[in-house]
Chain A
Amino acid sequence: MGRRLTFDIFRYNPSVPGSTPRIQTFQLEETPGMNLFVALTRLREEQDPSLKFDFVCRMALCGSCGMLINGRPRLACKTFTRDLPAQINLFPLPVFKLLGDLSVDTGTWFRNLALKTGAWLHTSRAFEHDAREERMDNETALRIYEAERCIECGCCLAACAKVHLQKEFIGAAGINRLVRFMLDPRDERGVAQYFEVLGSENGIYGCMGLMGCEDNCPKDLPLQLQLAYIRRRLAATGVSRSQTRQGKG
Chain B
Amino acid sequence: MSSYRIHVTDALIIGAGLAGERTAIELAARGLEAVILSLVPPRRSHSTAAQGGLQAALGNCAQGRGDSPDVHFKDTVKGADWGCDQNVVRLFVNTAPAAVRQTARWGVPWSRITAGKRRMPDLSVVEESEASAGLITAKKFAGTTKWRTCYAAEGTGHALQYALDGMVLSLGVTVHDRIEAIALIHDGRRCLGAVARCLRTGDLRAYLARATVIATGGCGRIYGLSTNSVINEGTGLFLALDTGLACLGNMEAVQFHPKTMPPTWIPVSEGGGGYILDRNLDYFMPYYQPKNKKVPYRDVIARHMQERIRAGLGVDGPHGPHLWLDIRHLGATHIERHLQNLAVFCRDFGGIDPVRELIPVRPAQHYVMGGVRTNIDGAVYGLEGLFAVGEAACWDLHGFNRLGGNSLAETIVAGMVVGRKVAEFALGHSLQYSSRLVGEHLAAQEYRLRSLIAGKNGCENCYELKKRMQRIMMEYVGIFRTGTGLRKAMAELQELHQRAQQVRLVSNSRGANPELEAALRLPGMVRLALCITCGALARTESRGSHYREDFPNRDDINWLNRTLAYWPPGAELPVLKYEPVTITELPPGERTASA
Contacts and interface: CB of A to CB of B under 8 A. Distances in A.
Contacts of B175: 111
Interface of B: 40-41, 43-46, 48-49, 51, 58, 98, 101-102, 104-107, 109-114, 133-137, 152-155, 157-159, 162-163, 165-167, 169-170, 175, 177-178, 200-202, 229-231, 262-264, 266, 318-319, 345, 348-351, 462-463, 467, 505-515, 518
Contact of B349 (A56, A59, A132): A59
B134 to A, nearest CB: 3
Contacts of B43: 62-63, 107, 110, 151-152
Nearest to A32: B318
Contacts of A106: 41
Interface in A91-110: 99-100, 105-108, 110
A119 interface: yes
Contact of A33 (B58, B101, B319): B319
Contacts of A165: none
A137 B104 contact: no
A186 B351 contact: no
Contact of A51 (B44, B157, B165, B514): B514
Interface of A: 13, 15-16, 31-35, 37-38, 44-46, 48-52, 54-64, 77-78, 80, 82, 99-100, 105-108, 110-111, 114-115, 118-123, 125, 127, 129-138, 141-142, 144-145, 148-149, 151-152, 181, 184, 186-187
Nearest to A153: B44
A39 B101 CA distance: 43
Nearest to B345: A59
A59 B264 contact: yes
Given A60-B348, A120-B163, 4 more contacts: A13-B512, A62-B229, A149-B159, A181-B107
A235 B589 CA distance: 66
A132 B135 contact: yes
B169 A149 contact: no
A148 B511 contact: no
B155 A145 contact: yes
In the complex, which of the residues B109, B158, B169, B506 has the most CB atoms of chain A within 10 Å of its own CB atom? B109
A56 B109 contact: no
B261 to A, nearest CB: 9
Given A58-B264, A132-B135, A50 B513 contact: yes
A34 to B, nearest CB: 7
In the complex, which of the residues B153, B175, B507 has the most CB atoms of chain A within 10 Å of its own CB atom? B153
A52 B112 contact: no
Given A33-B350, A144-B109, A62 B134 contact: no
Nearest to A2: B318
B40 A134 contact: no
Contacts of A55: 230
B41 A15 contact: no
Q: Is the interface of A mostly helix, strand, loop or mixed?
A: loop
B106 A121 contact: yes
Contacts of A62: 40, 43-46, 48-49, 229
A210 B542 CA distance: 61
B169 A56 contact: no
Nearest to A46: B463
A226 B163 CA distance: 20
A130 B154 CA distance: 28
B374 to A, nearest CB: 24
A112 B357 CA distance: 44
Contacts of B40: 54, 56, 62, 64, 107
A63 to B, nearest CB: 6
A51 to B, nearest CB: 7
Nearest to A139: B114
Contact of A15 (B51, B137, B201): B201
A-B interface, 6 closest residue pairs, ranked by CB to CB distance from nearest: A107-B41, A120-B166, A135-B134, A15-B511, A50-B507, A121-B107
In the complex, which of the residues A49, A62, A108, A184 has the most CB atoms of chain B within 10 Å of its own CB atom? A62
Nearest to A134: B104
A35 B261 CA distance: 14
B22 to A, nearest CB: 13
Contacts of B262: 33
A120 B107 CA distance: 8
Contacts of B113: 138
Contacts of A33: 262-263, 318-319, 350-351
Contacts of B177: 107-108
In the complex, which of the residues A16, A57, A110, A145 has the most CB atoms of chain B within 10 Å of its own CB atom? A57
Contacts of A119: 166, 169
A127 B102 contact: yes
Contacts of B200: 15, 99, 105
Contacts of B351: 33, 80, 82
Contacts of A46: 463
A245 B552 CA distance: 76
B104 A56 contact: no
8 contacts: A16-B509, A34-B263, A54-B40, A56-B49, A99-B200, A129-B98, A148-B155, A149-B159
B162 A56 contact: no
Nearest to A135: B134
Contacts of B114: 137-138
Nearest to A60: B348
A54 B43 CA distance: 14
Contacts of B137: 138
A58 B230 contact: yes
Contacts of A54: 40
A132 B132 CA distance: 11
B245 to A, nearest CB: 31
A119 B107 CA distance: 11
B205 to A, nearest CB: 15
Contacts of B45: 56, 62
B165 to A, nearest CB: 8
Given A38-B264, A45-B463, A57 B48 contact: yes
A249 B79 CA distance: 64
A69 B113 CA distance: 42
Contacts of B512: 13, 15, 52, 99-100
A56 to B, nearest CB: 5
Contacts of B48: 57, 61-62, 151
A110 B162 CA distance: 12
